[in-house]
Amino acid sequence: MLTHLTLPAALQALFPFRVGEYALPGGTGVIRYVDEGTGIPVVMLHGNPTWSFFYRRLIMALRDRRRVIAPDHLGCGLSDKPLHYPYCLANHIRHLEQLLAWLNLGPVDLVVHDWGGAIGMGWAVRHPELVRRIVLLNTAAFLSPYVPWRIAVGKLPWIGEWAIRHVNAFALAAAVMAVTRPLDPAVRAGYLWPYQTPADRVAIARFVQDIPLHPGHRTWPVVDAIDRDLVVLRHKAVRIFWGGRDWCFDDRFLAGWLTRFPTAYVTRLDDAGHYVLEDASDTMIAYLAQWLLAE
């Protein structure tokens, strides 16, 4: 089912997209996703604490010639936010697998950012025949001993959970720290709109807790397995569009991707931060879209 959700007028102006709904099996909840345009499908996966809103400018640039699917992960954006659900990477990958099987899109171009990298590549290594090309935006799908203190604080027992859910510290901080140029107030409000209450922020907290820092963490072997299987994607065309001033996914992660995809084409935006599509100019968005529009 496609619908136009009732959003605040200012948000509708920035996010004027049709939204589809998919009910996960077993009554888990409803995943909502942007579904715009026709043509070769492009699947865009957001990270934490964003939502499909992150891709709005790229969706606009593609929808006249491509079908764009941009899901909100369960607990994020416009999707349902069940409080008592085991949010973890393995489940997010499973949800994506179920959604894409239901949509029956055929081969897609895959665009991933932040946690969307691990989720998207987790799906892709299971279904390499359904992947045409890949765009990587300041993300990872491999283990790293490096975790910035600004992220590590969110993993502290009790304190991290309270700050993220009751003060909205993670989403508020990201709206400032993830960009190199201040967000327009309406854009900042758009990022924060789905996360208005502590209940709305449960998945934000769970994403932070799901960062694997040691082999005993439940998500450690999941990420390790994805990394080992990335070789099945090595023959794919890969484009890396990288914010050079990202303090979280910095150039160490870029180097990690180039080790795994040595023929990838890299565009490094020296003055862009983690929200690379926010800091990117209209020219650079068009440049990325041009690559995705090539047959």
Quote the pLDDT of residue 283: 96
Please give the single-letter amino acid code of residue 74.
L
Show Cβ contacts of residue 37 under 8 Å, excluding neighbours closer than 6 positions.
Answer: 62, 63, 64, 65, 66, 67, 68
Strand-pair partners of 68? 36, 42
Is the separation of the CB atoms in 212 and 112 below 8 Å? no
CB-count burial class (<10 Å; 0-12, 13-18, 19+) for 62? buried
Within 13 Å and on the Cβ side, how many CA atoms surround 218?
10
Residue 286 confidence (pLDDT): 97
Using CB atoms within 10 Å of the CB of residue 286, give its burial: 0 to 12 exposed, 13 to 18 middle, 19+ buried: middle
Q: Taking the CA atoms of 169, 70, 61 and 193 in sequence, report the sign of the dihedral they define.
A: negative
CA-based torsion, 239, 182, 74, 248: positive or negative? positive
Closest CA to 37 of 5, 68, 71: 68
Residue 154 pLDDT: 65
For the record, the structure tokens of 50 come out as: 């964003």
Determine the residue type at 22: Y
Full set of structural domains in the chain with CATH:
2-293 (3.40.50.1820)
User: Which residues of the chain have a pLDDT value below 70?
Assistant: 1-5, 149, 152, 154
Distance separating alpha carbons of residues 154 and 164, to the nearest angstrom: 7
Please state, in angstroms and rounded to a whole number, the distance separating the CA atoms of residues 282 and 295: 22
pTM over 0.75: yes
At 106-119, the pLDDT tens digits run: 999 999 999 999 99
